[in-house]
Amino acid sequence: MMVRSRIRNAALLFGIVALALGWPAQAKDRWISAWGTAQQLAPMPPPRMPPRPAGETRPAPPPPSGPSPVLPTPERLNDQTVRMIVRPTIGGSMLRIQFSNASGGEPVRIGRAGIAKSAGKSAIVAGTSRALSFSGQGAVTIQPGAVAISDPVALDVAAFELLAVSIHVPDDTAVNTLHPLGLRTTYVAKGERTGDAALPGAETNRSYFWLTGVAVHADAKAGTIVAFGDSITDGYGTTPDTGRAWPDLLADRLQKDASTRNLSVVNMGISGNRVRRDGAGLSALARFDRDVLARPGVRWVILLEGINDINFAAIPGIPASEAVTAEDLIAAYVQFIDRAHLHGIKVMGATIAPTEGTWLYSEKTEALRQAVNRWIRTSGRFDALVDFDAALRDPARPARLNPPFNPGDHVHPNDAGNAAMAEVIDIARFARD
């Protein structure tokens, strides 16, 4: 009896001390995602239109205006420094950086890593360079399928202030995990130059190598919105180095409104991604845990996926196993919603935009898109809705993109189209939660 009494007294004393010190730890040590990107297997072949079947009479789609935003990347690195530019969507004074070897293949050793404020191109702002450590060590080896998170580093950063993350890869290493459509110029230079003020003569591309996230220390009111989707979310049709993808523009709106200034947006789009099957990256169902549920501080996810499932299934000669129905996609959406709700995350469903003008378009693909959109609008399963279809379609011909939003490929909205997407999102819905 006396022993039980002592245990109760000790527990009570521990609780009093914990309250006095501000425990539990998660209340003191709370982080949210300020920037992120979804990684996939590399090297990635350039996108190609499937061969046209014999007897096909519909005109081939015109090429997109301008060069592809996806630039060639090195297949291997060896004693090279990679400097990548990121744009956090919320400010903070303490940062943590996350790297991932999600696609595996072989361990990746980062000999040294650092972060600094960007001064434009490959240059960094004097006096802002900070070396990164991992569990107190300056180097880190990331095993296949694993992630590595840096120790906290002090650096006052405002929302949208560009940061330069530099890593030195000392060994001959295959580039198996990257994000090919980074839409920010990346610099690759010979040798260990993570602390250099600039990298003149460096090779350039637009990929993020193993870099998957930047987290900031935040208060209890802060949270993250994940934009989860395919190339339209990834920003394929937008101007590089300008932050014109709709998730970037949504973040701009949130920061201008006092009621939503505590919210960040991270872009988890992968060009070519499908809901139910692997292709460009793991399927959306397979990567949802990694790219949404495992991100710190997530409160909302905006789900825009499905057009690639519809179009890929329309390729002539595609195996029957690739077929998709509206019921297939709806069942997958319910899985996203249920899995998010288990983690206290709300889901905003987004309707699929039109694609008439691509040679894969047909009455069948359009009927499938309409059936899926009808369910998104009317099922009541989502916590909120954004009607991207209504925002982007041509009023005179609703099965195609509005001409001012069409860059020429009939699929990917341009800068103006992405602005229309960001504008139609009801940000007041986020402020209420």
CATH classification number, 30-43+74-218, choose in 2.60.40, 1.10.3470, 2.60.120, 3.40.190: 2.60.120
So where are the chain's domains?
30-43+74-218, 219-433
- Residue 230 belongs to what H/E stretch? none
Q: Which residues have a Cβ under 8 Å from the Cβ of 408 and sit 6 or more positions away?
A: 62, 63, 64, 65
Q: For residue 293, what is the DSSP state?
A: I
Question: Can you give the pLDDT at residue 316?
Answer: 85
Q: Please give the CATH superfamily to which domain 219-433 belongs.
A: SGNH hydrolase (3.40.50.1110)
Prediction pTM value: 0.90
Could you give the CA distance from residue 213 to residue 208 in angstroms, rounded to a whole number?
10
Burial of 19 (0-12, 13-18, 19+ CB in 10 A): exposed
Q: For residue 101, what is the DSSP state?
A: -
Place of tokens 């790219």: 291
- What are the backbone angles phi and psi of residue 35, rounded to the nearest 5°? -155, 150
Question: Can you give the pLDDT at residue 56?
Answer: 56
The closest alpha carbon to 300, from 336, 259, 258, 252, belongs to 336
Residues of the chain with pLDDT under 50: 1-27, 44-50, 59, 61-65
Amino acid at 178: L
Question: Can you give the pLDDT at residue 48?
Answer: 42
Question: Can you give the pLDDT at residue 419?
Answer: 98
- Residue 392 belongs to what H/E stretch? helix 388-392
Question: Can you give the pLDDT at residue 52?
Answer: 53
Burial of 307 (0-12, 13-18, 19+ CB in 10 A): buried
Asked whether 90 and 216 are in contact (CB, 8 A), the reply is: yes
Question: Can you give the pLDDT at residue 49?
Answer: 43
